[in-house]
Chain A
Amino acid sequence: MARTAALGAPAERREGLEKVTGTARYAAEHPLPGRVHARAVPACVARGRITGMDTGPARAVPGVLTVLTHENAPRLAEPEDATLALLQDSEVPHRGWCVALVVAETPEAARAAAAAVRITYDTADHDVVLTPGHPSTHEPEEANGGQPTRCRRGDPESAFAAAPVRVDVTYRTPPLHNHPMEPHASTAHWDRGRLTVHTSSQGTGDVRRVLAGLFALPVDRITVRAEHVGGGFGSKGSPRPDVVLAAMAARYTGRPVTLAYPRRHLPTVVGHRAPTLSRLRLGATADGRLTALLHDVTTHTSPVRSFVEVAGTTSGVMYATPNLSFVHHVVPLDVPSPSWMRAPGEATGMYALESAMDELAGELGMDPVELRIRNEPDREPAGGLPFSSRHLVECLREGARRFGWPRGARRAEGPLLIGTGVAAATYPVMVSPCTATAEARPDGTYLIRVNASDIGTGARTVLAQIAADALGTPLDRVRTEIGDSDLPEAPVAGGSSGTASWGWAVHEACARLLDRLAGHTGPLPERGIGVRADTSGRADAGSTHARHAFGAHFAEVAVDTVTGEVRVRRLLGVYAAGHILNSRTARSQFVGGMTMGLGMALTEGSTVDAAFGDFAEADLASYHIPVHADVPDIEAHWIDEDDPYLNPMGSKGIGEIGVVGTPAAIGNAVHHATGARLRTLPLTPDRVLTALTER
């Protein structure tokens, strides 16, 4: 059958009209009859035990139905993820931990009552500040996603000591918050032993599985829906307390319950990007060939659930060197549990590596683009496998051509210093098993069903394109159903793997459907003809190749020598990520990632308050995500790659790589502009002014 032009086309988002007209419904927007509102009460001590709980004044607030505490809340089975063991005991592992839940007729009553709950604590000493050489520092057994914590090739220490040119520097990144525009929210409803939940999640299948465990229910008695999700960036990649608390409150009160987290609650309950200390040692020959690369990472985790930001791993992917080492260390602190935030590990680690590479280029007197090209490996340095495809050099060259590179000397415009910088980016190819069904209808249309999640990526659109392409039918003949756990099981929208995983199953279902239809004669039956595909065993099979996307980022900044403010004037990214399946939504994802990277570089930073154990920057007035005025015209381009080792669409993930190289490109541009090397993010005016003074 002829291929259509669907794949790669700039198809408009299928749910676009609902979103721009305000009719798209998000998790808190399902006003079931009798629906009431829940509000969590966060612990206001950094560590300790609840010794007394007076809920009388809260229960006396007009409109309050109940106050749940560890003394009366429904018992839950022990969860795999201990951050979901909510209201089960009197322990307070960190500030912000949920210690009570108010349920009331209105949000106003719930808020007033939450403030009226009186709690006494037996407090314990707490320790929340990550410091180099902290006595609890240790090497964990594994890092995020079961990845190895260390890698060692050759004799890196000796090679570094013997290298004619050396860089030995430490970079720091602060805790960062995902802050999707839709705060985490869930609406739960029990009906005759069946639980239905609308939740803001990147994967409703996981939510259903976890709820089934906690409430000791078979999964077929639970339906979890997430038709529209107002962003996630990793923080909605696993069930968060809102969905458990809403289900608990709904079961206890017999009413549908919505829990929509207030913005200020999010930092302590939905995970954060853990702070990192990265020591980079780079040794090179005088002509710029790396002889040693050592990346030592220290990060923090919580006592509740271990999570280790894998900031060193990408250092085993990027550059040819016979002597390589990365190792992760973690310090358990009395902090809220860190988790995934867009490119977890890649963003923090590549900030350090790509900044250190810029420093090495400076030591060598070499152009930083040229240095990277000179160290292009022919195999993945850490694993030794050949790359399935790798076009980093092409990205650098194409970016250089478009951006205007080699750069000249820095310029001055009055009090402004203008400079440019470059950094490389990478993100691994991940893919998981998935199921999907494809159905041909007698009216000539097709129905694709798969429990994918559209968190703003355009999943339902690109899946329709994949189906249309596989079926050889016009795009408008294909309907997609996603975002509902009753649909064929599918993995989470995370790890930039959603489109690859779901699309593979959709593609396969469509291919099978064509086979089935080829053997069918006469008109289709009323109910249509449907087939199912399951990619288990193939999507998760190991590869003979190292599979990664690559990219190059270029930035131009203006640094105000009077105020210390850094403004980005231009930002350009070139990516090599297999075939791009929808040029319109892909561009938006790349640009969105770069915007988050701009925030990481310049405006975003959180601080764990040593005295109170809280995040000091808990709301959007103090935690500065980039606004319109911060963001210039951003260009995203790509190089099409033909890679047979990926999936039937030939695509790599694109949701996260945009954030990966951007902070280093901006930091390197600040160095070019000012001559000052700042090694702690974000590059806020106070830090920049101090650096300019010390220059």
Chain B
Amino acid sequence: MGSEIQRSETTLRVNGKPHTLLLDHRRVLLDVLREDLGLTGAKKGCDHGQCGACTVLADGRRVNSCLLLAVALDGSEITTIEGLSADGEGPHPLQRAFLDRDAFQCGYCTPGQICSAVGALAEAAAGHPSQVTDPAAPAGRPVALDRTEIRERLSGNLCRCGAYPRIVEAVEDVIP
């Protein structure tokens, strides 16, 4: 206690833009986004990787940003809910589907649900199995996402308002 704060210069590309920051080693990605970059779309629901509200994409993979020390992510490409669709393009199809299905109420878990679903769709397309994937399914082939698969893959994202059935429908809406 009382010692100097350890800091390191770190560069993150966030939603396509590079940011070089002198970061406290204790600072997690979530707090970099929320406190340093003003991107408060990623939410702090538990700060312990238990609720998924902070989910963003790091190099295309979904992560709990509250569990990642930002200095360890130097050079990473981060996509947050604010950057899911390019400027001027209007909402991402999944954001549109969430609106169409009323797949949220209070909205606090919503950015995490959406980022997580984007990540899950990519994982399934890349052939990543889940706990409920048929073990006999050929490895490496895209996994078809039925409701059981969607529910399993999104179970790290809690919603206290109970929007789950509508979220599953919204995800189904954007499955190619």
Contacts and interface: CB of A to CB of B under 8 A. Distances in A.
Contact of B41 (A21, A619, A626): A21
Interface stretch (A128-136, A175-183, A288-296, A645-653): A175-183
Contacts of B50: 263, 619-621
B164 A588 contact: no
Contacts of B158: 181, 620, 625, 627
Interface in B2-57: 2-5, 24, 26-27, 31, 34-35, 38-48, 50-51, 53
Main secondary structure of the interface of A (DSSP, over half): loop
A233 interface: yes
A475 B53 CA distance: 32
B43 to A, nearest CB: 7
Contacts of A2: none
Interface in B121-152: 147, 150-152
B154 A108 contact: no
Interface string B92-121: 000100110010111111110010000000
B28 to A, nearest CB: 9
Given A60-B1, A61-B2, A591-B165, A182 B43 contact: yes
B81 interface: yes
B107 A19 contact: yes
B71 interface: no
Interface string B75-101: 000001110100000010001001100
B10 to A, nearest CB: 15
Nearest to B164: A631
Contacts of B162: 588, 591-596, 626, 631
A316 interface: no
A57 B3 CA distance: 11
B143 to A, nearest CB: 16
Nearest to B46: A263
A153 interface: no
B35 A181 contact: no
Given A17-B91, A228-B107, A263-B48, A456 B82 contact: no
B65 interface: no
A180 B160 contact: yes
A66 interface: no
B161 interface: yes
A107 B31 contact: yes
A628 B107 contact: no
A22 interface: yes
Contacts of B82: 21-23
A262 B34 CA distance: 16
B39 A181 contact: no
Residue of A21, A62, A592 with most partner-chain B CB within 10 A: A21
Interface in A374-431: none
B98 A108 contact: no
Residue of B4, B44, B147 with most partner-chain A CB within 10 A: B44
Nearest to A632: B165
B64 interface: no
A626 B168 CA distance: 15
B58 interface: no
Contacts of A264: 48
Nearest to A13: B102
B68 interface: no
B91 to A, nearest CB: 6
A283 interface: no
Contacts of A109: 5
Given A628-B151, A628-B155, A631-B162, A457 B43 contact: no
A366 interface: no
Interface in A456-471: 456-458
A458 B43 CA distance: 20
Contacts of B165: 591, 631-634
Interface stretch (A26-34, A162-170, A551-559): A26-34
A61 B3 CA distance: 7
Contacts of B3: 62
Contact of A15 (B40, B107, B150): B107
A106 interface: yes
A594 B158 CA distance: 15
B106 A456 contact: yes
B63 interface: no
B163 interface: yes
Contacts of B81: 20-22
Given A628-B150, A628-B154, A180 B106 contact: yes
A21 B95 contact: yes
A35 to B, nearest CB: 9
B104 A108 contact: no
A642 interface: no
A619 B43 contact: no
A15 B40 CA distance: 16
A22 B41 contact: yes
Contacts of B151: 628-629, 631
A649 to B, nearest CB: 20
A265 B162 CA distance: 23
Contacts of B4: 62
Contacts of A592: 105, 161-163
Contact of B102 (A183, A228, A584, A621): A584
B61 interface: no
Interface string A631-645: 111100000000000
A629 B155 contact: yes
A353 interface: no
Residue of B26, B47, B102 with most partner-chain A CB within 10 A: B102
A25 interface: yes
Contact of A625 (B111, B114, B160): B160
Given A21-B41, A21-B91, A627-B158, A61 B1 contact: yes
B155 to A, nearest CB: 4
A25 B2 contact: no
Contacts of A17: 91, 95, 99
Residue of A18, A592, A634 with most partner-chain B CB within 10 A: A592
A260 interface: yes
Contacts of A112: 1, 26
A28 B80 CA distance: 18
Contacts of A263: 45-48, 50-51
Contacts of A633: 147, 165
Nearest to B148: A629
A116 interface: yes
29 contacts: A13-B102, A18-B107, A20-B98, A22-B81, A26-B40, A28-B44, A31-B35, A31-B38, A57-B2, A62-B4, A106-B27, A180-B108, A181-B158, A231-B105, A231-B108, A231-B161, A458-B105, A587-B102, A588-B105, A589-B105, A591-B166, A592-B161, A592-B162, A594-B162, A595-B162, A620-B158, A625-B158, A627-B158, A633-B147
Given A228-B106, A628-B164, A629-B151, 11 more contacts: A20-B99, A21-B82, A24-B107, A31-B38, A106-B27, A181-B45, A230-B43, A231-B108, A592-B161, A593-B162, A619-B50
